[in-house]
Amino acid sequence: MWFMRQAGRSLPEYRRVRADVPMLEACARPDMIVEITMQPVRRYDVDAAIYFSDIVVPLKAIGLDLDIKSGVGPVVADPIRDAGGIARLRELEPGDVGYVTEAVGGLVEELKGRPLVGFAGGPFTLASYLIEGGPSKNHEHTKALMYGEPKLWDDLMRRLSAITLEFLKVQIAAGASAVQLFDSWVGALSAEDYRASVLPHTSWIFERLAEFDAPRIHFGVGTGELLGLLSEAGADVVGVDWRVPLDSAAQRVQPGTALQGNLDPAALFAPWDVVAERTRDVLNRGRAAEGHIFNLGHGVLPTTDPDTLARLTELVHEESER
């Protein structure tokens, strides 16, 4: 088990370390990456660490003018909506993210055999931030480009997929044990649109990762109707948000696919007996899958009580041992 966003805002030690340091600066400092990644491992004794970074880091590394604004998220100074903008997306070189190699190497030493999960943003989610200029509820500009300019869309997705692949390869080469592709907002698409406009590109990424000895996890939010397609893309594990019970999800994915998830992050604000009951239900339903990594159905919410996460970790370990 591990938690998405386990290294982050819910921890007081994280807030102290990040007090006066902008997010993207923290993501480029190996000492801070190592410290923040290790904080929840020390506190919770989770089974895996998740590399501390952000999905826009490789885009910043190739020279795009973007920032992460507190309370907002990634903001792009000059949104990309035409061929000229897409042409600005050059390939990512390992030297662009040398701090990633250094940080992963340091983490492998600190973790002493405990797995490190690397990650990158999925191409649709990256495209949405670039096209919209920031977070979006409706992804209207993104879908307009996807529907109306399919050749431009394909060029954009190919470039972003290549950047994503290289970012993941750098992490694996430095020692990451597994990788997760966060295509967080792909649930905004219908199954038909996903199959036509996204699946070929995520499949390309996973096919090229297959040569490495690192399990591949695929996750998106609101993807209940897409679980079969997320599995078809080629990942070893499909992350499931809290909307679909794991026993139902197990029937939607390809044979041989493990599941990850899927306790509702908001459930952690309920009384402990409710948290425990819901956790046991997730574990019981997870037995229907060919493999199960316990996680939340999305990231740890910022005001989550760290003590609740510690109790949750203990409970999952106890139940798993039984």
Which residues are designated catalytic?
A: 5, 9, 18, 54, 129
Q: Is residue 227 within 8 Å of 187, Cβ to Cβ?
A: no
**DSSP state, residue 103:** H
Q: Distance (Å, rounded) from C-alpha 265 to C-alpha 298?
A: 7
| Beta-sheet strand order (sheet of 216-219) | 49-50, 116-121, 178-182, 216-219, 237-239, 258-263, 292-296
CA dihedral in degrees (189, 192, 193, 198; nearest 10)?
Answer: 100
SS3 content of the chain, % helix, strand, coil (to 5): 50, 10, 35
Q: Which residues contact 80 (CB under 8 A, 6 or more apart)?
A: 86, 88, 89, 130, 131, 156
Q: Distance (Å, rounded) from C-alpha 242 to C-alpha 190?
A: 19
* DSSP secondary structure string for all residues of 239-261: E--TTS-HHHHHTTSPTT-EEEE
Tokens 């996903």 -> residue: 194
- Based on the number of CB atoms within 10 Å of its own CB, is 16 exposed (0-12), middle (13-18) or buried (19 or more)? exposed
Would you state the structure tokens that stand for residue 201, as one six-digit string?
């590109």
